[in-house]
């Protein structure tokens, strides 16, 4: 049994729990206090939002942990714990988006084919940008795993079943997964913010492009896009991104399995003789990398009690961040945060009760959408209460935990080399831009 797998079954250390939540609370509050920092880049600009400060501060503490004083020393176990809390805390963000979607369903219905077809961007965007770059850099069959889709957990499972994780394709998808985990949120936030500032795409098209990514990447992209919009448009951006992400979560896995992966294999067979024939083959992992692969994928499994505790404590972080960053009194936002936690709890219980046949994020989204659906009793009152909780204030705690968890993946990241980093970023950019471009054809009707 691997060390990481053994660790995942050990009881949680209360000291590590207190340390991680204490650090996260301070980092998130400090990041909100810093506020956004716009940086002009010629024809456009990027904005370093509080969520990016939070991620960078958490990562820095993790990397310099051995040199830090006692309270700031983050053990490997604590980093895995932060990753587990992140997975649980993302449910709050999903619930908030679902609450926005419920009241916006009539407008979402008008988007029609825009929402339905943007998922095609996930199928072809990675391959169109990532595959040629990978082959020109000398990467061979690893390119299939690295570019057939964004490296989310379903992608690991699909390639593992089809090729095996010890295959070149398996090494490729793992490399993309690690790269995306480490720098994906930062990259997509900067890219989305820059593209938004160019005013090439409609904000709602960009929102739909943001929705095809993982939870943390969607949150980062949505935050960057919404920060440059009016308050009303910012709500629509969040709603459309949530709807797109729900489609990607439910249908995306099947489309990836039956369309995207076979397409990547065909693209490799067609492009490799043209772009890669005279390129020297490079390896993206050392021979001793299997131990790293096992460690990267495992985090502790949180029981229901710990999940509820994490939602409550993250809720407190949201209340504090909402006060510092957006000026809403904690007592005023408290009912909204309570409703969000309630939606998460109900959705999680249904997920467990139905034997996990449908992802938890789907149930939580459905419950939250039902709460604010126009025909639901007290929908307007629920929308008003939860409207006092900025969804941007929810993103900062998410990326705080992401930052605190990332240092554990640095050894694997160093083995990947710069080539796979470039390929991964191109694949992620391709997904976002392709989905936004497809959606752009349909938003003129909104």
Contact 323, 330 (CB under 8 A): yes
Instruction: Evaluate whether residue 3 is within a structural domain.
Output: no
Q: How much is the mean pLDDT over the chain?
A: 81
Q: Strands 37-41 and 44-48, how do they pair?
A: antiparallel
Tell the residue number behind the tokens 């456009």, with chain if given: 44
**Which of 264, 263, 72, 247 has its CA nearest to residue 173?**
264
- pLDDT for res 361: 79
Instruction: Evaluate whether residue 88 is within a structural domain.
Output: yes
Q: Which pLDDT band, with edges at 50, 70 and 90, does 23 fall under? A: very high
Instruction: Evaluate whether residue 2 is within a structural domain.
Output: no
User: For 105-133, what is each residue's pLDDT tens digit?
Assistant: 776 666 556 566 666 766 677 788 888 98
Instruction: Determine phi and psi for 104, rounding to 5 degrees.
Output: -105, 10
Instruction: Evaluate whether residue 7 is within a structural domain.
Output: no
Q: Which pLDDT band, with edges at 50, 70 and 90, does 1 fall under? A: very low
Instruction: Evaluate whether residue 280 is within a structural domain.
Output: yes
Instruction: Evaluate whether residue 6 is within a structural domain.
Output: no
d(CA 353, CA 340): 20
45 strand-pairing partners: 40
Q: Is the pLDDT of residue 256 over 60?
A: yes
Query: What's the number of domains the chain is made of?
Result: 1
2 three-state secondary structure: coil
- pLDDT for res 277: 64
Tell the residue number behind the tokens 């988006």, with chain if given: 97
User: For 148-189, what is each residue's pLDDT tens digit?
Assistant: 877 665 676 677 767 876 678 877 776 777 777 668 888 888
- pLDDT for res 391: 78
- pLDDT for res 109: 67
Q: Which domain holds residue 315?
A: 12-445
The helix, strand and coil proportions of the chain, stated in percent and rounded to the nearest 5, come to 75, 0, 20
> Of 9-13, 320-324, 342-346, 407-411, where does mean pLDDT reach its minimum?
9-13
What is the token pair recorded at 345? 């709890």
Instruction: Evaluate whether residue 363 is within a structural domain.
Output: yes
- Distances in Å between the Cα of 216 and the Cα atoms of 4, 19, 86 are 23, 22, 9
Q: What percent of the chain has pLDDT over 70?
A: 79
Residues 6+ apart with CB under 8 A from 59: 403, 404, 406, 407
Contact 220, 51 (CB under 8 A): yes
**Helical pair 185-197 and 50-63, crossing angle rounded to 10 deg:** 150
DSSP secondary-structure letter at 68?
S
Q: Is the pLDDT of residue 350 over 80?
A: yes
What is the token pair recorded at 82? 């932060």
- pLDDT for res 202: 92
Q: Is the pLDDT of residue 337 over 80?
A: yes
Mean pLDDT of 13-42: 87
Contact 36, 325 (CB under 8 A): no
**Which of 227, 225, 232 has its CA nearest to residue 210?**
225
47 strand-pairing partners: 38
d(CA 271, CA 276): 7
d(CA 89, CA 348): 12
Between 16 and 311, name the one with better pLDDT.
311
> Of 42-56, 276-290, 296-310, where does mean pLDDT reach its minimum?
276-290
Contact 404, 79 (CB under 8 A): yes
**Which of 45, 123, 59 has its CA nearest to residue 401?**
59
Residues 6+ apart with CB under 8 A from 240: 104, 108, 111, 115, 204, 207, 208, 211
Mean pLDDT of 260-281: 81
| DSSP per residue, 207-261 | HHHHTTS-HHHHHHHHHHHHTTS-HHHHHHHHHHHHHHHHHHHHTHHHHIIIIIH
Instruction: Evaluate whether residue 1 is within a structural domain.
Output: no
DSSP secondary-structure letter at 37?
E
């Amino acid at each position: 049994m691997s060390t990481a797998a053994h660790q995942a079954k050990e009881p949680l250390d209360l000291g590590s729990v207190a340390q991680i939540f204490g650090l996260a609370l301070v980092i998130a509050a400090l990041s909100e206090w810093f506020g956004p920092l716009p940086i002009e880049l010629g024809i456009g600009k990027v904005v370093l939002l509080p969520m990016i400060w939070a991620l960078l501060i958490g990562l820095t503490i993790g990397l310099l942990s051995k040199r830090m004083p006692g309270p700031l020393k983050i053990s490997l176990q604590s980093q895995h714990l932060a990753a587990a809390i992140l997975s649980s805390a993302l449910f709050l963000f999903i619930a908030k988006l679902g609450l926005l979607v419920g009241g916006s369903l009539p407008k979402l219905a008008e988007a029609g084919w825009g929402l339905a077809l943007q998922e095609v961007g996930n199928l072809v965007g990675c391959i169109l940008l990532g595959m040629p770059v990978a082959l020109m850099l000398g990467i061979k069959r690893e390119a299939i795993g690295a570019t057939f889709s964004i490296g989310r957990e379903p992608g690991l499972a699909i390639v593992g079943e089809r090729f095996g994780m010890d295959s070149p394709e398996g090494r490729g998808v793992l490399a993309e997964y690690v790269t995306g985990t480490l720098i994906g949120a930062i990259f997509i936030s900067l890219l989305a913010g820059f593209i938004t500032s160019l005013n090439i795409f409609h904000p709602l098209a960009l929102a739909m492009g943001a929705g095809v990514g993982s939870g943390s990447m969607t949150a980062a992209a949505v935050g960057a896009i919404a920060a440059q919009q009016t308050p009303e448009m910012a709500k629509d951006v969040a709603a459309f991104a949530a709807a797109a992400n729900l489609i990607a979560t439910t249908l995306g896995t099947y489309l990836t399995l039956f369309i995207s992966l076979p397409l990547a294999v065909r693209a490799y067979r067609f492009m490799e003789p043209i772009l890669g024939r005279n390129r020297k083959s490079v390896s993206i992992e050392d021979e001793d990398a299997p131990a790293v692969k096992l460690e990267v994928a495992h985090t502790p499994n949180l029981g229901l009690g710990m999940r509820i505790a994490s939602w409550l404590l993250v809720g407190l972080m949201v209340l504090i961040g909402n006060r510092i960053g957006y000026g809403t009194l904690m007592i005023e936002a408290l009912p909204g945060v309570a409703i969000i936690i309630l939606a998460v709890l109900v959705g999680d219980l249904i997920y467990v009760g139905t034997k996990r046949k449908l992802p938890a994020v789907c149930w939580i989204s459905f419950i939250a959408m039902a709460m604010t659906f126009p025909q639901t009793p007290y929908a307007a009152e629920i929308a008003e209460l939860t409207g006092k909780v900025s969804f941007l204030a929810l993103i900062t705690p998410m990326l705080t935990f992401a930052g605190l968890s990332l240092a554990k993946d640095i050894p694997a990241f160093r083995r990947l080399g710069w080539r796979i980093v470039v390929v991964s970023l191109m694949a992620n950019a391709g997904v976002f831009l392709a989905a936004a471009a497809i959606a752009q054809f349909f938003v003129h009707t909104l």
